[in-house]
Every structure is written in structure tokens, then in C-alpha cells.
Amino acid sequence: MPKPGPLSLNAATVRERWGLPGCIEGCARHGIPGISPWRDMLHDMGVARAARRIRDAGLAVTGLCRGGMFPAADAAGRRAAVEDNRRAVAEAHELGAACLVMVCGGLPPGSKDLPGARGMVRDGLHALMDEARAAGVTLALEPLHPMTCADRSVLSTLAQALDLCAELGEGAGVAVDVYHVWWDPDLERQMLRARGRIAAFHVCDWLVPTTDLVFDRGMMGDGVIDIPRIRAMAEAAGYGGFVECELLSRRWWKEDPDTVLRVVKERHATAC
Amino acid sequence: MPKPGPLSLNAATVRERWGLPGCIEGCARHGIPGISPWRDMLHDMGVARAARRIRDAGLAVTGLCRGGMFPAADAAGRRAAVEDNRRAVAEAHELGAACLVMVCGGLPPGSKDLPGARGMVRDGLHALMDEARAAGVTLALEPLHPMTCADRSVLSTLAQALDLCAELGEGAGVAVDVYHVWWDPDLERQMLRARGRIAAFHVCDWLVPTTDLVFDRGMMGDGVIDIPRIRAMAEAAGYGGFVECELLSRRWWKEDPDTVLRVVKERHATAC
């Protein structure tokens, strides 16, 4: 099996200890050629300053996290979400990011209307599409694990994301995170269908037991996901880009970030 | 919308306080016409005694929990699983259970081979099918929430369960638990496809936040699942049977079981 594509560090992986400046310097120091910032960290640093520093460090921006979060209880809330997404598109453009990762949002507070929330996601994406295309920013729809359906993403499967892509047309893609899709019995078929649409490939691992629905992701190799198998599916669909480590983990957040980056580099080479 | 079908109590709902005798008496006392025992509780009571007591109380047995757990690290382990399932089929027959609920099992310890584990599930079901048919016991394949894929069920979606049913033929059905399937973007289509196969319909609710992957289910009405919408799908597919409450919840296990049964009855009437 060929070696994995180049490594990118999703900044959330070390966010409890480092701001974005620390992440940029850390990537440069450890020889990690890609980075994916989160917007709050980006705002803390300043977009222009971050763009310059990332460029100076020679890093690729494999994605900006995150747009989305479209569903809201009323029309004003939904308009505000689209406005915020417009700013995110502009920031992704300024950074030269490969994509804007879309975490589409869950049910509005108090709602049980899942088809309604899905409709709001669809409407929000349609409202954003022209602007994203004009800016040359790919919207990477990220199906999130079904356990996040209520509060983070009513977009739960790759099939569903690809159906949306087909509807949205050029400029829409998918972000495939092994953590979110590994369980899917339809994965192999959908990955082939994703040819030309895979804008980002994220890795971490599923721990047994998993003790938290959001912040207990495992380091690659420490869990049960056959990451090389899923990477091979992505490659069979023509993807040859970065492998981005996004590790939301209370356990790893406690570690020294330089240690984390060393382990991430090692596992990228041995477990991906 | 028509009233929900008659209520059944899955014995796990009150298992921390009551054994099976308590559950049977509780159902009789509260006018709950159906019960679904777990095998360990059944063994504690004795199968013949339980069957007699349930019959005397006039209760329907809407299912026996649970068969399955087929994957194992070696052939001996897999044979032992099939043997244990044979005993479960015999017990379901003796109880006159409407079905044997199949929780198919996760990855064998140390394994990352998901297709392999799925193959073991398939092989185990095939090995059991003749015996189940001869005993008149429907094997109700229960797709479990994808968050249980590693350690409880590599059978994750209704589509996958129905594909298996088609292959297994007569005597195979599905157990639909709203907790496990509510997030599925393909649910409506698959529920229609399930016509003639729905052997059990389970309810509880998805809480926000959910703090445990197994034991934090919510009482019907306390979460975000639109239960009547999913029940309507089941009815559109011809299902008119029991609505079984299965609530695995550390919070509700602390309550007095008579209180739990009163709330279950009320929510069955108002939130299902």
C-alpha cells in the first residue's frame, strides 16, 4: 500500500495549550506541511496576520473549520447563520484554504423536526453557494457521526452529503473523517461515488470504550478503525491529498503539544 | 393519528430493582399487557416457571432479549455463540415470544476487521435459521446505533438489516428501536421496505446532551425523537403491534419501579 498523503495538523488537536501562532510554529518545527485552523483561533490571531505567518512558514491550509450550523429557531437566526458563513468563506479565501469545512448543525433548540432541520441546512448551503464559487472556496460538507445528529449535524452519512453535493453542483465537496464514517455499511460504495468531491480527509481513531460523545477521540492506531482501509477507498476514488489529524480529546489536550505532534507524526507514518 | 399499539415493558427498564417476577407482577398491577424479558433474568427465575407465570398473568411476550453476539476471535468462540443462540431460540419458543431480538455483536477483541465481523454475523444467522424456523421463532435483527458498532453491533442500519433479512428468507425480521434509527436519513424509505418484516417496535428517547453511549436513554417525550412520526412509518408499513418501552438509563434505574411504570404508561399515551 502506498504511503499516506502529507500530514496536516488540525489546530483543535492542541487547542487547549496553543493558540494559532503556536500551532503554526509547531508545524514548522516538526516538519508538518499542512495546517487547518479553527475560526475562533484565527480571529484571536487576526486573519491577515495568520495568512501571512502561515505563508511564511510554507504551510498548506488544508481547510478552515468551520462553517455550517445553519438550523435556527427563527428566520432571523437562520439569516445570521448565513451571514456568518459568508464571513467564513471570505476568511477561507484570504487564507487560501483548500476548503471550508461545513459542520451543518443539529436540531434547533426545542425542535424534534429532523426533516425541517435538514431543509434549513439545504437552504443555507444554497444561499452560500454562489459566493463560495466566486471566491473559489470549496464547501466541504462533513457528515458527522449519527451520535451528533441532535446537536451538531443532521448531515449523518456520506450518501446524504453526496446527494447534497449533486444538488449544489460545482464548488461543493465532502470532508471525510474516518471517525464519523467508519461504521457505515455503505461506505465503500459511497467513497467510490465521491470521486472528484473529496476535499479533505481527516483521521483519528474510535476508542473502546468511548466515554464521551464529542471529546474522547483516540490517537490513530489506539482504536478500532482500519484507517488504511478507508484511506485506500479515498485513493481508489482519486484522492491523493493531505491526511489531516483532528483529535478532539480531553486526554491528549492534557499532554505537552510538542509530544502530541511527535506522536501524531509517528502514527501518521505507521497507522494511517 | 391513531393511538399507539398496546404497551409492552422491556424488563431492562426496571432491572436494577426488580427481577423478572417483579416485572410480571408489575405489568399485571399496572395493566401493561406485554412484557419482554432478558435472558439473564429469565434464567434467574427459571424458564418454565416464568412461562407459566407470564401466561397466568395474561401477558403477551413481545420479544426475548437477546440472541446474537456472533463475532468471536476464534472458531470455537463462534461455535459457542451459535450454541448459545440455539438455547435462546428454545427459550423464546417455550415463552411463546413474538421474536428473539438479535443484538448481533461488535468487533472481536483486538480486531479492526469490520467486514470480517459482519461476515461472522451473517454466518451465525445462517447457522441458526433452520432451527428458528422449525421452532416458529422469528429472529428480529436489531440495527443498533452506529455508536455501538465497535462493541455491540456491527449491524448499524435498517437497510443493512433488511438486506440480511432478504438473504435469510422466511423467519427473519427486524426489531426497530427509535433510539437506534431516528437519525437515519434513509429511514422513511427503509421503513416502507420493511413491510412484513417488523417483528418488534421499541421506544425511548434521545436526550440532549447524552452523557453515556449505552445507559443514558431518555423517557419517551424527554428527548428529541419524533416518536409518533416513526410509529406512523411503521404503521404505513403495516405494523400494528405492541409498542415496547426499553429504557436503559442510570437515572431511571434509581427510581421506584412503580413510579417508572406509571410514567411509562402516561408517556406511551401522550408521547408515542
pLDDT digits (tens, 9 = 90+) for B13-67: 999 999 999 999 999 999 999 999 999 999 999 999 999 999 999 999 999 999 9
Q: Is A235 a residue whose pLDDT tops 90?
A: yes
Predicted local confidence at residue B232, as pLDDT? 98
Q: Does B147 touch chain A (CB under 8 A)?
A: yes
Helix, strand or coil for residue B6? coil
User: What does the pLDDT look like over A212-225, one tens digit per residue?
Assistant: 999 999 999 999 99
Q: State which residue of chain B sits closest to A148, comparing Cα positions.
A: B183
Question: Taking a C-beta distance cutoff of 8 angstroms, is the pair A199, A154 a contact?
Answer: no
How many degrees, rounded to 5, is the angle at CA B71 between CA B68 and CA B73?
145
**Residue in A159, A208, A213 nearest the CB of B150:** A208
User: What does the pLDDT look like over B91-149, one tens digit per residue?
Assistant: 999 999 999 999 999 999 999 999 999 999 999 999 999 999 999 999 999 999 999 99
Which residues, 6 or more positions from A104, have their beta carbon under 8 angstroms from its beta carbon?
A68, A69, A70, A121, A124, A125, A141, A142, A144, A153, A154, A155
Q: Does B167 touch chain A (CB under 8 A)?
A: no
Predicted local confidence at residue A75, as pLDDT? 98
Alpha-carbon gap, residue A93 to A136, rounded angstroms:
7
Q: Is A1 a residue whose pLDDT tops 90?
A: no
The stretch A78-102 carries a mean pLDDT of 98
Q: Is B181 a residue whose pLDDT tops 90?
A: yes
Predicted local confidence at residue A218, as pLDDT? 98
Which DSSP letter does residue A255 get?
Answer: S
Q: Does B182 touch chain A (CB under 8 A)?
A: yes
Predicted local confidence at residue B242, as pLDDT? 98
Predicted local confidence at residue A2, as pLDDT? 87
**Chain B environment of A111 (Cβ under 8 Å):** 224
CB contact under 8 A, B224 and A107: yes
Backbone angles phi, psi at A48, to 5 degrees: -65, -45
Q: C-alpha A114: how far from its chain's center?
A: 23
pLDDT-derived band at B254, boundaries 50, 70, 90: very high
CB contact under 8 A, A113 and B226: yes
Q: Does A180 touch chain B (CB under 8 A)?
A: no
Predicted local confidence at residue B2, as pLDDT? 87
B82, three cell numbers: 451459535
Question: Taking a C-beta distance cutoff of 8 angstroms, is the pair A257, A22 a contact?
Answer: yes
Alpha-carbon gap, residue A167 to A125, rounded angstroms:
10
Residue range A7-270 forms a domain whose CATH class is: alpha beta
C-alpha distance from B156 to closest chain A C-alpha (Å)? 7
Containing H/E element for A9? strand A7-10
Backbone angles phi, psi at A180, to 5 degrees: -85, -25
The stretch A36-59 carries a mean pLDDT of 98
Q: Is B1 a residue whose pLDDT tops 90?
A: no
Q: How much is the ipTM here? A: 0.97
Residue listed under C-alpha cell 490517537:
A219
Which residues, 6 or more positions from B188, have their beta carbon under 8 angstroms from its beta carbon?
B233
The stretch A33-60 carries a mean pLDDT of 98
